[in-house]
Structures are given as structure tokens and as C-alpha cells.
Structure 1
């Protein structure tokens, strides 16, 4: 039985969706899995750079995913949905709520949840590298309220969030790689003493291997949030299918 997955890019940047597709196709075998890609409509922001644009993108995307049953992107046509934005994006909770209400057999995963839970399971010190500075308090607050308050995550493992001071769409530019690498070396690895650096924006997708080679001597693990999110989603789907 073919597994159907929808990868949702909630912003309206088609180039971001192309980058996500390229990364996924290089990493995953598609033999038993059909992956479709959704890009936010024109009413969605071109990039998500904070709380306001997160909400705007949710409002633009949600009706297209849960209301139109004739749409090729209707959520119940898939076994799993990956919301490809590294944040506590409101789309995750909204689609989960609708799925629960309608008893829909679909798994929904966000990049923040899957990445943080992975780091906690492996038990290594981790920090986040993100895009612009506005994300630092947003991500730190999300970690504090969602994972640390109830001791879901070992507080001794969490080291903090670092900004590249770049916009989302600039993270993939080759001319910015050296700047990103220098910030990671100075802040995430040396200052925060991180064993794992979470690439905390979908704009970093595809840079995991290049960064791993750059910091090979340090032994730092760079976590591509798209890759780990998709791996966890596929595992969830397989487990659900095994119960049928």
C-alpha cells in the first residue's frame, strides 16, 4: 500500500518549496512513498519571520487544507502531513484538532516538536541556529512553555538559540555560508558547548552535510529538521498501519 505524504511550505515562496523537494528527493527513497508539496497561496507571506507572519500564513493556508474536499491538498487524502516551518506553527495544532474532531486517520508533524524530541531521546546537549533575531525569544519561549515547564525535555540539555541575523530566503545563498559557519563555531559550538546544532529554519535545508564536513573535527551533529521530521512522520505512519 502506497504511503501518501504532504509537505506543507506555509509561505508563498515557490523557491523554498523547490529547495525542500530537492533535499527530500536526495535523502529519501520514494519506492513506497508518494510525497506531494504544497506552497502557501499569494495571500501568505513570502517568508515567515516571526509570530505575525506565522499567524498570517496559517490563516491563508488552513482553508485550502481542511475545507475543500475536492482539493488535491485536502488533508484526509494523505497518511501524513509535515508542516515545514521550524516553529510552534499554528497550522500543526489546527490540523490536528480537525483530524481529531473528524477521527481522520492522518498523522501531523511539525519541525519543532520532532527535532526537540529527537534531541531529548538521544540525550545530548543541543542548541538552535535560526535566521533573524526576532526568532530568538519566540523559539526560546516555545521551548520553555512547551517542553521545559513540564519537564518534557531535560533542562540540562537545552543550551539556547543563536541568530545568523539573515532573512529566511538568504540562508541558502552560497555567499552567506561562511558567515553562518563562523557564527555556529563561535556561538553554538564554543560558547554554548552544543553536541547537536538544530538547523532551526527550513531555509537551512540541504546544508546539513556541508556543515558536517566543515566541523568534522568537532564531532558536532547538525540536525536537518526536514529530514528528522519526515523520518519521524514516516515511522508514525508505519506504526499506525501495523495496527490495522
Structure 2
């Protein structure tokens, strides 16, 4: 007797390109609180042990992309999924590398938490307001500023007027998961957020590290101090993982709706 497929599940893989299982666990906690379609499944992946435990500079980015790409090639894991989210807040090479394999995996939708955070902020901004990024170490100031310009097609000497810039805490990704005293994390995150909010009418603050998931209230507390309670309620704190999953859900639906069928 023949059967017919009447409902198709969307399977999303959230890919942590570093080898920290505790960071993946932190991502999972945030994902569990999301309101998603009942037909959407979200799975997580932690990079093999050869990948850095924390991605803090260009060498770590390169190493993680090499290790993960090789592992995905060897396992064929992506054949099981409709979409993949690269959960490293950077211009991570895995995003274009995996996007090039779209045809190989039957229309795989690919984005990163960096790219999806930018798109989320741009969709929220009112006239005259800005968005900015709070992240980890000094390295990321130039890397992320350049990445924003590349993504938006702007130049450093002609910057996007909606972008308030990047402020750093001086920490690394692992510090947000037990690497240092939580009070130090709180203080440094508040200081970086304060510097960003002083740059004008900042409506959106992006948490520029997957390890920051769950720290939104620290950022909001600074907005209360800088802007007052009423205006602080309008501040949007963007978690790139949540933004990315929401975007991928829509990307998968749009691909199915708009791609030419055989």
C-alpha cells in the first residue's frame, strides 16, 4: 500500500565550531526557550577536539573551519538537515564554504549568527536609531567592524550611519562559562555596554559571542542607568543563535516556496 507525505519537518543544525561542550550546552538552554513551529527540529553539534576550545583570533577561526569542514565531509552529517547555523560570531569561513554545497545537500539553507544578527537589527531600527555590538577581546573590534562593512557593502571611510560600532569586554568566549568570576564578567560586560550606549540613540545591542547567551539582563540594566526605565524598555538585545534559527526557519520555507521544482 502506498503512503503520502503530508507534512515535512524542518531540521536545523546549530553548529558550534569550537570544541567546548559547555558552550554548546549554553546554546541549548537558550534554544529550549524559543517559540518554534512544531514541525521544526533543532539539533546541536560540537566541533571535534582538534578544534580550539574558544575562538579568540584569526588563527582560531581558520583552525576551527578546517577541522569542522573535514569532519562534516567525512561524516556526511549535513545530508540529514535542511539548514545549518554557524554559531561563531565572526566572519567565519564555514558560512560561505557550506553555502557553496547548497546543491549537494538538496537546497541547504546556511547562515551564521553574525549575519543573522545584522539582519535582525536592521529590521528593528526606527528612523535615526542605531545598533551596535558588545563582544569579547580586542581582536574583534577590527574584525567585526570590517565584517559589518563587507556584509552591508559599505566602507570604513564611509561607514553605515546606523552602526554604532563594536565595544569589547577584554574577556574570551570561555570566560562566560565559568572561566572567570561571574562578578568580573558582569562588571566588564556592563562597562562595554555603557560605552556603546553613550554613542547615541542605540536601539539594538547585539551580544557578539555565542557564549553570552542568557546575559541579556546585564545589558538591560545598563540601559536603565543610561536611558532611564521608560526608554530602556525599548532596547532590543539580540541573541544571534535565536535570530539565526528564526531566520533559517523562514529561509527553508522560502526556498521550498520559490525554488523551481523538477
Pair in the same fold by TM > 0.5 = yes
Determine the structure 1 residue equivalent to 2:90.
Answer: 87
Determine the structure 2 residue equivalent to 1:111.
Answer: 113
Cα separation, partners in 2 of 1:137 and 1:214, compared to 1, 3 Å:
closer
8 Å contact kept, 1:92–1:109: yes
**SS of equivalent residue, structure 1 residue 108:** strand
Query: Where does the alignment leave 5 or more consecutive residues of structure 2 unmatched?
Result: 1-7
Determine the structure 2 residue equivalent to 1:2.
Answer: 9
What is the Cα deviation at residue 209 of structure 1? 4.5
Residue 181 of structure 1, aligned match among 169, 176, 190: 190
Which structure would you say has the larger Rg?
A: 2
Cα separation, partners in 2 of 1:195 and 1:15, compared to 1, 3 Å:
same
Q: Distance in 2 between matches of 1:164 and 1:230?
A: 26
Determine the structure 1 residue equivalent to 2:123.
Answer: 121
**Aligned pairs, number:** 237
Residue 78 of structure 2, aligned match among 63, 75, 85: 75
Residue 60 of structure 1, aligned match among 43, 67, 78: 67
CA displacement, residues 85-115 of structure 1 (integer Å, 9 cap, x when unaligned): 1111001111111224x26221011111111
Cα separation, partners in 2 of 1:91 and 1:66, compared to 1, 3 Å:
same
Q: Distance in 2 between matches of 1:130 and 1:8?
A: 19
Residue 146 of structure 2, aligned match among 138, 141, 148: 141
**SS of equivalent residue, structure 2 residue 75:** coil
Cα separation, partners in 2 of 1:165 and 1:193, compared to 1, 3 Å:
farther
Query: Where does the alignment leave 5 or more consecutive residues of structure 1 unmatched?
Result: none
Residue 205 of structure 1, aligned match among 190, 213, 220: 213
8 Å contact kept, 1:8–1:83: yes
8 Å contact kept, 1:160–1:192: no
TM-score (norm: length of structure 1)? 0.88
Q: Distance in 2 between matches of 1:191 and 1:241?
A: 42
Q: Distance in 1 between matches of 2:52 and 2:105?
A: 31
**Further displaced range: 39-48 or 23-32:** 23-32
Q: Distance in 1 between matches of 2:216 and 2:173?
A: 16
Q: Distance in 2 between matches of 1:234 and 1:199?
A: 21
CA displacement, residues 25-77 of structure 1 (integer Å, 9 cap, x when unaligned): 022347322211110101100000111100100000012223433xxxx1121
8 Å contact kept, 1:66–1:98: no
Confirm or deny that 1:215 pairs with 2:218.
no
Determine the structure 1 residue equivalent to 2:3.
Answer: none
**SS of equivalent residue, structure 2 residue 71:** helix
What's the Cα RMSD here? Answer: 2.3
